[in-house]
Structure 1
Amino acid sequence: MNRAILTKLLALSAVTGVRSMAGLAALASARGGPAKPALLVVAATEMFADKSPSIGNRIDPLPLGARALIGGAIGVLVAREAGERVVLGAVLGATTAVVATQIAYDVRRRLPVPSAAGGLLEDALVVAVASRYA
């Protein structure tokens, strides 16, 4: 896998660890199609909902598993589009999403700002990275 494809796969899988729908929304946004509007709405809704105190932890088993699955799907999509091995893409995508989830969770908990402000910082980072690598 060449550097550009690997970087794209890792970047979009990492943003999925921070906001579960961000990587898929970025891919859909870049490619268009019927899923684009729905994925953009779901991603935006997730960013809004993340600031709510009633939202559970992203490192809990169900949200973490979902991020792993979505990260794996991103890996498959990016690898397939580049003519690379999809199994490798899936493993790299899932692993990256899980690792990024834990890192983002730990960093946000340690930020010396309210959680909602930390969430806005995460949102800005996610949007910047996703728009760069989609």
Structure 2
Amino acid sequence: MKSSSQPRGAKFWPALGFAALAGSRATSGPAFLSQFLSQQALAPALAGSPLRFLGKPGVGTALKFLIAGEFVGDKLPNTPDRIVPQQLGARAVSGALVGATLYKAKGGSLVSGALVGALGAVAATYLTFYLRKTISEKADVDTGLVGAGEDALVLGLGALLSKSQAS
């Protein structure tokens, strides 16, 4: 990882990207960030931090299983909308976690990272909810099918974002 002399955008945009993933699927942001961190040398800034757990390979593996469960659960008819308070709160916490961890790893402020992550996840939650609903209504397609497309997009963008951080 680079030193804290990085430009602000070097922390902001990746944190926002991982948070946006969390807004779509709550476990995806932490899973992809964990995958990235576990393939790198532990950033010195994370060494003494409780957030270092995201850099452990076992955590990334466990989170991948949770993503699979979330992909299935998302399509069940009795699953609440992602914008209900409990779901929105989980996504905000997930976004705050990835934002704080990424900012800390890159020598930035935990609080700034958590705020960027939480706000990014909440914005992405509403955006993806209404986008999915609109596509489903306008195209007269079942929301589950649109959700499957969203899953594919989350996987592709998550892999791309993780890979881009390694550069």
Correspondent of 2:133 among 100, 103, 109: 109
Q: Per-residue deviation at 1:53?
A: 1.0
The residue number in structure 2 matching 1:6 is 12
> With structure 1 as the length reference, what TM-score do the two structures score?
0.94
Task: Determine if contact 1:29/1:40 at 8 Å carries over to the other structure.
Answer: no
Pick 1 or 2: higher relative contact order, CA cutoff 8 A, min separation 6.
Answer: 1
Aligned length: 134
The residue number in structure 2 matching 1:21 is 27
Structure 1 consecutive aligned stretches of length 4 or more whose deviation exceeds 6 Å: none
User: Alpha carbon RMSD of aligned pairs, Å?
Assistant: 1.2
CA distance in 1, matches of 2:132, 2:66: 22
CA distance in 2, matches of 1:105, 1:34: 31
The residue number in structure 1 matching 2:108 is 84
- Structure ID, larger Rg: 2
Q: Give the aligned residue type for 2:34.
A: A
Structure 1: where are the runs of 5+ without partners?
A: none
Match of 2:58, SS state, is coil
Once structures 1 and 2 are overlaid, which stretch shifts more, 93-102 or 124-133?
124-133
Structure 2: where are the runs of 5+ without partners?
A: 1-6, 39-56, 163-167
Q: Deviations over 1:34-82 (max 9, x none)?
A: 2122111001110111111111110000110111111001110000000
> With structure 2 as the length reference, what TM-score do the two structures score?
0.76
